[in-house]
Chains A and B, each alone.
Chain A
Amino acid sequence: MSLERFMIQRALTIETCRAITASGERSVRSALHFEENPLSSAERAPRRGPPDLDREMRAIARGDRAAFARLYDSLSPAVYGVARRVVRSAAHAEEVTQEVFLEVWRKAAEWQSTRGSAANWVMLIARARATDRVRSEQAGRDRQQKVAPGWVEPAGDTVDEGVTLAEEHDEIRSALASLTDKQRIVIELAYYEGKTYLEVAESLGLPLGTVKTRMRDALIRLRESYGVPG
């Protein structure tokens, strides 16, 4: 990537970050536990400011609908963003977002803080549902193609959407711009395309250890790009 291209992407990243909902910045900070130790946060007195999502998840597990609404407000842009990127169509992305949050509501009691943050857990459900959707759509298209050729809906909702998506795509990609190409590709394959690290290693022709190391380096760099000290 040329330096100029890099600077443009970097600027786009900053714009994108600014454009996230007014609470976006705070949500990111709270989801990352900037100010607090996630393991001890449950014991704290009621806090002001951004919600602690681990704490919200415990409340949701007890059937607290207001906590669910707060979690939705914090994470729905991230979930919808992933769905939009994976399934493309805005309408399908909304359906995926709905599936994800209903699953969160049903399964909140299964989440355990020793197995990762609540936000991480939600984003893994998002990955699973979005990539499931792509697979079932592909299967559906294959079936329809056999039964009724010509009846197949286009991938996007409208023709115009193709243009918009193409425009947006650069912006979306830019969030990964802090990564090297090698780091970025493993994140794209593993997270957005739903591959296991074994499949990633196979498709790139790399040893398993290398893939795991690249994933780790990428995640650390993404984390640092938000100013979390290593």
Chain B
Amino acid sequence: MSDMHDMAAPYVLGALSNDELDAYRRHLDDCQVCQDEVTRLGQGLVALTMSDGEAPSEHLRAQILASIEPEAPPAISLESRRSTLRYALVAVAAAVALIFATLTVIDRNPAEEILAAPDSVSVNLTVTDSYTGPSPTVARVVFSASEEAAAVELVGLVDPSAETIYQLWLIDSGGAVSAGTFRPDGEGTAIVRLEGAPVSGDVVGITEEPSGGSRSPTGDVLFQAGI
């Protein structure tokens, strides 16, 4: 086709037919003039769409990031195939990344990982009147949609009495389900991953229960927060 060079504008807008698109892409690979034109005109489309932008809800962000779990890492970039050396390095890096990903899964997401997740959302735990000690300096639930997990972090928590233990609960309209038990360390700090799979909308509660934990809460709720 003789007039390939004026296809850049329709190409940038996505307005070529499939046949033309294939032909123009092949042409682009060898035509620096068209590559520059596409870069330049593409900036016009991006400027338009950015200026008309409207932020979607935070909830959507969490949902999307959660649905790109590492089980399906994309293939190696076509770009890197250009250099055999780079290709080899990337392949090694991908293999290493896969091993780490596998190890992480076996490791069952330690609580710190949830705290450090890029999409983690932190909600402060409310201290109820039933908690008699001085208020902790930190009391929060951290939820990561991508890890599908939550952790509590408490600093300055008083020790439960010798026969009792703190117990975590996930509460929804169906009732309370235990999410594990814990004691703070010697300095009153507890960073604990919740058992089970919390979902947005659940309430996290903490009670004091007899050592060994209870099937359903028997003590008063001491801390609580909605995810």
Q: Which positions in A face B, CB cutoff 8 Å?
A: 13, 16-17, 20-21, 24, 27-28, 31-33, 38, 58, 60-63, 65-66, 68-69, 72-73, 76-82, 84-85, 93-94, 97-98, 101-102, 105-117, 119-120, 123-124, 126-128, 172, 175-176, 187, 190-191, 194-198, 200, 209, 211-213, 215-216, 218-223, 225-226, 228
Contact = CB atoms under 8 A, between A and B. Distances in A.
Contacts of A115: 25, 28-29, 38
B6 A209 contact: yes
Given A72-B65, A73-B61, A222-B48, 16 more contacts: A20-B50, A65-B68, A81-B49, A109-B77, A110-B78, A119-B42, A127-B14, A190-B15, A191-B13, A191-B14, A194-B14, A196-B10, A198-B17, A212-B9, A213-B6, A223-B40
For the complex, would chain A's binding face be called helix, strand, loop or mixed by DSSP majority? helix
Interface stretch (B90-98, B126-134, B169-177, B219-227): B90-98
B16 interface: yes
A128 B14 CA distance: 8
Nearest to A211: B10
B52 A175 contact: yes
Contacts of B23: none
Given A66-B118, A105-B68, A117-B39, A77 B46 contact: no
Nearest to B82: A112
A76 B12 CA distance: 19
Interface of B: 6-17, 25, 28-29, 35, 38-57, 60-61, 63-65, 67-68, 70, 72-80, 90, 93-94, 97, 118-119, 146
B192 to A, nearest CB: 25
Contacts of B53: 20-21, 24, 77-78, 80-81
Given A116-B12, A119-B46, A176-B48, A68 B41 contact: no
The 7 closest A-B pairs by CB, nearest first: A77-B53, A219-B44, A63-B73, A120-B42, A61-B77, A215-B9, A223-B44
Contact of B50 (A61, A77, A84, A172): A77
- By CB atoms of chain B within 10 A, which of A106, A120, A221 has the most? A120
B40 A68 contact: no
- By CB atoms of chain A within 10 A, which of B28, B49, B57 has the most? B49
19 contacts: A13-B51, A20-B54, A31-B43, A62-B90, A62-B97, A73-B61, A77-B50, A78-B50, A78-B53, A93-B56, A107-B74, A111-B78, A114-B29, A116-B42, A190-B15, A197-B10, A215-B13, A216-B6, A216-B41
Given A66-B118, A72-B64, A102-B64, A218 B44 contact: yes
A32 B47 contact: yes
Nearest to A74: B50
Contact of A61 (B51, B65, B76): B76
B225 to A, nearest CB: 24
A21 to B, nearest CB: 5
A65 to B, nearest CB: 6
Contacts of A200: 15
B54 A102 contact: no
A62 B95 CA distance: 11
Nearest to B49: A78
Contact of B51 (A17, A114, A187): A17
Nearest to A123: B49
Contacts of A228: 43, 47
